[in-house]
Amino acid sequence: MDVFVTGASGYIGSAVARVLLARGHRVRGLARSDTAEATVRAVGATPVRGGLTDLAVLAAAAAAGDAVVHTAASTGDDRPEIDAAAVSAMLGAMAGGAFVGTSGAPRTRSSRVPILEEDTAEPVGPLAWLADAETRVLTADRVRAAVVRPPIVYGDGGGPVAGLVRQARADGAARYVDTGANCWSTVHVTDLAEAYALILESGATGVFHAAEASPVAMSELFSAVGAAADVPVMSWPLTEALATHGPLAGFLAMDAALDAGRLRALGWTPGFGDALGGISGALRNPAQRYAREALGLMP
């Protein structure tokens, strides 16, 4: 297939591009700057110059191929509006093919026991827009539509867990909220990329959780974060965490355990994560570079 990947210079999108290319597909990747374009070329994909607000570029690129994988996201308060316009432009230009969007674990009901894709709740707060974003993709005309919900993504020294390591280093401690008994699912970035490729190749539609079998307790995760950052591990109350780190602390205090049965039924196995011993093993593995990240020595 000829696949257009938004976010192809980013953490998840570049992994998707690498996996698709390794599986014999052609990849064009959105690149908004010279640096991003160089990254896309280094992966082996063909750059498409533009950003998420360049709607004509997005539309033309989406219409020119067989599929779109949308992993890009802006970071400002206008993220919902930018995403809506970008996705609408791409979907409106496509007369067939596949579109795979990206959502997130907060779209699901909070649960310590892994839950299925249909067990959702209306998200609140900064990520409430995910509900409409998913619906926009799944109800699109003329395309085969799917949405991937990744949990905490890790691997290769990147992902949100890298920010936790840096924050722990800066704070002088890795701190989980209250008892740290709440659990999150996790997935290695390469296993996640394999999931996108499998969905494209299988003809699958609908929502897919991409998660390893066993969710990780926050106390365990932050123990590994502390090891990577070389700082002590301790707990703190939610009120103090919210006052210091805002909504992020609230997310890390919730449960987000996902059941990936739909993906596993397609033949997906999170082999990279399993080989590393999951996120805790990766954080303690020097080859995964999280300790270097803490010291500012990346890449």
Q: Each residue of 74-133: pLDDT tens digit? A: 888 899 999 999 999 999 999 999 999 999 887 788 889 999 998 887 777 777 888 999
Same domain, 91 and 202: yes
Distances (CA, A) of 194 to 37, 139, 267: 23, 24, 11
Same domain, 69 and 179: no
Distance, CA of 9 to CA of 12 (rounded, Å): 8
Across the chain, what does the average pLDDT equal?
Answer: 93
pLDDT bracket for residue 25 (50, 70, 90): very high
Widest CA span in the chain: 55
Lowest mean pLDDT among 119-123, 172-176, 256-260: 119-123
Q: Say which residue, 293 or 140, is predicted with more confidence.
A: 140
Residue 247, pLDDT score: 80
Residue 42 resides in a domain:
yes
Residue carrying structure tokens 């919730």: 254
Half-sphere exposure of 273 (CA within 13 A, CB side): 27
Residue 264 resides in a domain:
no
Residue 296, pLDDT score: 58
Same domain, 72 and 200: yes
Joined tokens for residue 109: 């009901």
- Overall average pLDDT of the 197-208 stretch: 97
Same domain, 277 and 139: no
Same domain, 229 and 166: yes
- What is the reported pTM? 0.94
Same domain, 230 and 164: yes
- Overall average pLDDT of the 139-150 stretch: 96
Residue 265 resides in a domain:
no
Does an H or E element contain 190, and which?
helix 189-202
Does an H or E element contain 99, and which?
strand 98-102
Residue 251, pLDDT score: 83
CATH code, domain carrying 47: 3.40.50.720
Same domain, 98 and 165: no
- Residue 229 pLDDT > 80: yes
Same domain, 143 and 248: no
pLDDT bracket for residue 291 (50, 70, 90): confident
Same domain, 126 and 181: no
Total structural domains within the chain: 2
Residue 9 resides in a domain:
yes
pLDDT bracket for residue 293 (50, 70, 90): low
Three-point CA angle 210, 263, 81, nearest 5°: 50
pLDDT bracket for residue 258 (50, 70, 90): very high
- Residue 189 pLDDT > 70: yes
Joined tokens for residue 188: 């290695």
Give the residue numbers spanning the domain of 229.
Answer: 154-185+213-256+272-294
Same domain, 38 and 56: yes
Residue 299 resides in a domain:
no
Residue 47, pLDDT score: 98
Indicate if the alpha-carbon torsion angle 218, 184, 227, 271 is positive or negative. Answer: positive
Residue 86 resides in a domain:
yes
Torsion of CA 213, 214, 215, 219, to 10 degrees: -160
Residue 55 resides in a domain:
yes
- Residue 298 pLDDT > 90: no
- Residue 275 pLDDT > 80: yes
Which is nearest to 70 in space by CA: 53, 87, 54? 87
**Beta pairing partners, 31:** 49
Indicate if the alpha-carbon torsion angle 115, 212, 277, 219 is positive or negative. Answer: negative
Chain centroid to CA 160: how far?
9
Residue 263 resides in a domain:
no
Other C-beta atoms closer than 10 Å to the C-beta of 287 total 9
Q: Say which residue, 195 or 249, is predicted with more confidence.
A: 195
- Residue 299 pLDDT > 80: no
pLDDT bracket for residue 294 (50, 70, 90): low
- Residue 238 pLDDT > 70: yes
- Overall average pLDDT of the 42-65 stretch: 98
Same domain, 73 and 122: yes
Other C-beta atoms closer than 10 Å to the C-beta of 264 total 14
- Residue 14 pLDDT > 80: yes
Same domain, 14 and 108: yes
The 3-state secondary structure of 253-297, one letter per residue: HCCECECCHHHHHCCCCCHHHHHHCHHHHHHCCHHHCHHHHHCCC
Residue 295, pLDDT score: 56
